[in-house]
A and B are shown apart, each in its own frame.
Chain A
Amino acid sequence: KNQVEQSPQSLIILEGKNCTLQCNYTVSPFSNLRWYKQDTGRGPVSLTIMTFSENTKSNGRYTATLDADTKQSSLHITASQLSDSASYICVVSATNAGNNRKLIWGLGTSLAVNP
């Protein structure tokens, strides 16, 4: 069964600190993995996409990693800011029968950055 699991479920850190969010997946065949940021009351916004051949990709203070062998991805946030408080959602794209792509969504990690 295709699944995406994220940990931790929630996280509280102090402003300026770093943190790492985890995403484990059992999705086959794997196409790509995206991280979305969802602010309270807003729709998700794409942060980065990882394909099979990519190990690391950065977007400002956000760095995503992918280990296709262990089927794990992480999102590292450096020097956190109050505006980083949001839910971070991992989604994996799989190609199903008929060559249609399907998105499998994680439940997200809720991050709170406190001053």
Chain B
Amino acid sequence: KAGVTQTPRYLIKTRGQQVTLSCSPISGHRSVSWYQQTPGQGLQFLFEYFSETQRNKGNFPGRFSGRQFSNSRSEMNVSTLELGDSALYLCASSARQGMGNSPLHFGNGTRLTVT
């Protein structure tokens, strides 16, 4: 069974630009969550999608948005990039909705650098 796939692996953008990250979950998994990981803050929850609907949202500004498609693939968009958005963005899928009910299966992330 293929794991969680995130594209691209690396991305360099300049301030003010926008970026879209993609995540393909494990086949059969309908829940997709997004996290931002930085050395000082650890993993910070962005949002969770299940059956194309956002079910939970973290404390991030509206510049961070996402969506999920009918095949469970998900995209995350960040607009008006700031230097502080530089981070590793991780996508995780699970078989069921509701974080904590089942293990999260993470992709290897997209490393975003904002200059």
Q: Are B42 and A108 in contact (CB under 8 A)?
A: yes
Q: B92: which A residues are within 8 A, CB to CB?
A: 43
Contacts between chains A and B (CB distance < 8 A), count = 48
Given contact pairs A41-B108, A42-B108, A43-B107, A101 touches B43 in the complex (Cβ within 8 A):
no
CA distance A106 to B3 in the complex (A): 24
For the residues of B in contact with A, the DSSP-based class is loop
Interface residues of A in 51-85 (CB under 8 A from B): none
Q: Are A46 and B101 in contact (CB under 8 A)?
A: no
Complex interface bits, B2-29 against A, C-beta within 8 A gives 1, otherwise 0: 0010000000000000000000000000
Q: Is A89 an interface residue (CB 8 A)?
A: yes
Q: Is B109 an interface residue (CB 8 A)?
A: yes
Q: B90: which A residues are within 8 A, CB to CB?
A: 43-44
CA distance A59 to B67 in the complex (A): 36
Number of A positions contacting B (CB below 8 A): 23
Q: Nearest CB to that of B103 among chain A residues?
A: A46
Measured between C-beta atoms, what is the minimum distance from B110 to chain A in Å? Answer: 11
Q: Are B103 and A101 in contact (CB under 8 A)?
A: no
Measured between C-beta atoms, what is the minimum distance from A34 to chain B in Å? Answer: 7
Q: Is A12 an interface residue (CB 8 A)?
A: no
Beyond A43-B108, A102-B100, 14 additional pairs, beta carbon < 8 A: A41-B108, A44-B104, A46-B103, A46-B105, A93-B99, A94-B100, A100-B98, A101-B98, A101-B99, A103-B45, A103-B100, A105-B42, A105-B43, A107-B41
